[in-house]
Amino acid sequence: MSAITDILDAAPVAADRLDLDLAALPRSDYGNAMRMLKRFGQDLLYVDEVGWYVWDSRRWSAEAGQYRAMKWAHPDGRENQG
């Protein structure tokens, strides 16, 4: 097997593991916040008195920040990342 094949084969396992880890979190506001943080935390930033920013692959953008934060906070947010 090549290194690329190994990476591609491991990707679904990593995604399944994340889903299992997230499912184990409590069903509460705290658990929901932790799920959002673990899944999208690298792409979301909250600034007090300013609001949400989203990483657009070049910069932190306020334009879509609030929209993305609210979209990703909902249970179906993972399927609607775009």
The label of the residue with tokens 């673990």 reads 38
The DSSP symbol for 26 reads -
- Nearest Cα neighbor of 67 from 39, 44, 41, 33 is 44
Could you tell me where the beta strands, DSSP code E, fall in 1-82?
Answer: 44-47, 51-55, 60-61
- Nearest Cα neighbor of 67 from 49, 79, 81 is 81
- Joined together, the tokens standing for residue 37 give 């943080």
More confident residue, 34 or 65: 65
* 75 pLDDT above the threshold of 80: no
Q: Tell me: the pLDDT tens digits for 7-24?
A: 556 555 666 787 788 777
* 52 pLDDT above the threshold of 70: yes
Q: Tell me, what's the pLDDT at 8?
A: 54
Q: What is the arithmetic mean of pLDDT over 40-64? A: 91
Contact 45, 20 (CB under 8 A): no
